[in-house]
Amino acid sequence: MARVVLQGVTKTFQNQKVVKGLDLVIPDGSFTVLVGPSGCGKSTTLRMIAGLETVSDGNILIGDQAVNALPPGKRDVAMVFQNYALYPTMNVFDNIAYGLRNRGISKKDCKLLVEEIAEIVGLSDYLKRKPSQLSGGQRQRVALARAMVKKPKVFLMDEPLSNLDAKLRNQMRVELTSLHKQLGTTFIYVTHDQVEAMTMGDQIVVMSEGQIMQVAAPMDLYQEPENLFVAQFIGSPAMNIVSAEGRSDQLWGFRPEKALLLPASVSPVPADDRWVAKGQVVSREILGSDTLFHVETEKGRVIVKADTEEARLLGGAVTVTVAKPHMYVFDRASKKRVGRLGGREQAATLAGGVS
Amino acid sequence: MRKAATAHELPGTGQVQAKAAGMPVAWLELATRLRPYLYLAPAMICFLLFFFYPIGSIIYLSFLDWSLINLEEMEWVGLQNYRDLLADQDFRQVLGNTAVFTVATVGIGLTLSFLLALWLNKKAKVYGIIQATVFSPHIISLVSVSMLWMWLMDPQFGLLNAALEAVGLPGYTWLADPKSSLLSLIIVSIWKGVGYNTLIFIAGLQSIPGDIYEAAALDQSPWWRTLVRITIPMLSPTIFFLLIINTISSFQVFDTIAIMTQGGPINSTNMLVYYIYEQGMDFYNGGLAASASVILLILVGILTALHFLFMSRRVHYR
């Protein structure tokens, strides 16, 4: 078990900086998720921690040891790959035991360890099979078992669930979370899926274009985004951004689920504590209990999430209203969050990050 | 018009078409059944004519005593040709030469190609250039290759001996001595084949997913174990393929012998196919040539079957 520290970590590929001086502390025993759109450098960062990519500049520490010069096998980390990367010619037993044998563990101890792990992940009946004879979910378990059996200080996972179908993915999400609780080891998990990030991580690192946008716990990230990028990346659908009223240097944003839809015939009580916009519903997406309304308003196009039952009777013409404390204020130039409307200034709940 | 209308109502069924064409149904059923054979016929006729007929014919001819000069007189002698062949000291030497040549060419050639492929399987211009260079002998005709190596291996004026002498080593006899002649042919054959084999090996290596090697690196796998436990098993289909085609082509070596040594000196480089040619074309001994051909067919058949039997179990197909 160990914490992982990144100090000014930079990666350059052919004169192009893909990771730009990351400073990050991943606490011991945390489930840290690196999330961001594809090409943001999250996988490269993970691979640098694993030792599969060299670090162009900066330092990586695992525990108190600088590992920049250590080969992957000596870093005491285990990795689960997106495509599992199982050894196709070996059966499940050998796949799991391979790393142990390389460490000089005796055949007898190997057998015990592998059988124990296989029991935990439910693979005991499949030890003699080749990976090609297993389903996607089973392969995923072999990959997990192969990582777990080494009892590493840090688990690295590179989009491990993206090749599974939706149902299995949900199931594995829960299993991974409980596995993390059980093992208490540091997990570093890379994904582009913000749902995975929000549901599994206890610390989320949002990345964009090789830089960290924000490091925070899931709810802090959702409620107190530090900048426009995080505000629009976290949450589904994304935060609505509209022009600020009376301030050309600002942008305002509100979450689709915090807005209210009223029929146009009902004129809202004019009040200073609400943002109001009249508009036309352009399309609606019914998700089940909720419906997404795409509304073309006088102040720009917005999405509003409303209860399907309640919104059933709405016609084409509507009024969108948002309570001012739910309106976020961003600086147009720096894209940083300034505060909220209605007096609530930005709360100082910024977790993580090295200063 | 009524007929046409019926056909239109049920398009594509044989019976309706039969009625439309005014043909009895039974005829059309027969035609439908024969149709696939008709499509297969051109290929099958070529196959029978140029493949099965010659095989059958050569087997039949191997039981006759006959000469290429006088085709009128053919006498049934049963297995006598085979008995003569197997009793012949020269023929036994030919079989021995063929075996040594095949084992050495395939064994050394494939090992060398594999090592070259491991070395050249990298992304850089230099490796591409070396790859192209190594491959180039494959596109040169064997006749030119043989001529070239005859010059190189000339004991008095050859480049090889000049090079040896330049570094103070004694010259080598190469093709001139029965002791070194077979080795010389083996060298030429490996030189000619190594480029193709390397290319196929590189293609095989490149089809192995890179993340497996990354997983191995994280598993602390030393390079030799990665080679033995991962690379070679993953490459087994390629190895198997090359083993079979190289064995067969080594067994059938002819051009280099015909040009460089004509089987000599003292039968030391004579091998099966050249022996067959010699018996038939030089000595007009049709019976012996035919029976030696049958022996070649059987040996290659057995070798291929053995490969399939022993290797296919260990080959990993994705």
What residue segments make up the domains of chain B, in order of their start?
2-61, 81-311
- Where on the phi/psi map is residue B292: left (φ > 0), alpha (ψ -120 to 50), or beta? alpha
Q: Does residue A141 register a pLDDT over 80?
A: yes
- Indicate the CATH number of B81-311 among 1.10.150.650, 3.50.50.60, 1.10.3720.10, 3.40.50.300: 1.10.3720.10
* pLDDT of A79: 92
In this structure, are residues A287 and A238 in contact, taking their beta carbons and an 8 Å threshold?
A: no
Q: Does residue B62 register a pLDDT over 50?
A: yes
In chain B, residues 174-233 whose CB comes closer than 8 Å to chain A: 209, 211-212, 214-222, 225, 229-230, 233
Q: What span, in angstroms and rounded, lies between the C-alpha atoms of A183 and A179? A: 6
Q: What span, in angstroms and rounded, lies between the C-alpha atoms of B102 and B304? A: 13
* pLDDT of A236: 82
Q: What span, in angstroms and rounded, lies between the C-alpha atoms of A239 and A41? A: 23
Q: Does residue B8 register a pLDDT over 50?
A: no
Domains delineated in chain A: 4-228 (3.40.50.300), 238-340 (2.40.50.140)
Q: pLDDT per residue over A66-78, tens digit each?
A: 898 899 888 889 9
Q: pLDDT per residue over B26-58, tens digit each?
A: 888 998 999 999 999 999 999 999 999 999 999
Chain A residues in contact with B317 (beta carbon < 8 A): none
Q: Which residues contact A23 (CB under 8 A, 6 or more apart)?
A: A6, A7, A8, A9, A212, A353, A354
Give B155-213 as a 3 state SS string. Answer: CCCCHHHHHHHHCCCCCCCHHHCHHHHHHHHHHHHHHHHHHHHHHHHHHHHHCCCHHHH
Chain A residues in contact with B233 (beta carbon < 8 A): 89-90
* pLDDT of B200: 93
Chain B residues in contact with A158 (beta carbon < 8 A): none
Say whether residue A87 is in contact with chain B using an 8 A CB cutoff.
yes
Q: Is A89's CB within 8 Å of B212's CB? A: no
ipTM for the predicted complex comes to: 0.80
> Mean pLDDT over residues A184-197, rounded?
91
pLDDT grade, residue B5 (50/70/90)? very low
- Please say whether the dihedral angle defined by the alpha carbons of residues A217, A219, A225 and A231, taken in this order, is positive or negative: positive
> Mean pLDDT over residues B256-273, rounded?
86
- Where on the phi/psi map is residue B106: left (φ > 0), alpha (ψ -120 to 50), or beta? alpha
* pLDDT of B1: 39
Q: What span, in angstroms and rounded, lies between the C-alpha atoms of B3 and B12? A: 14
Calculate how close chain B gets to A79, using CA atoms only, in Å.
Answer: 7
For chain B, what percent of residues have pLDDT higher than 70?
Answer: 91
* pLDDT of B317: 62
> Mean pLDDT over residues B70-89, rounded?
85
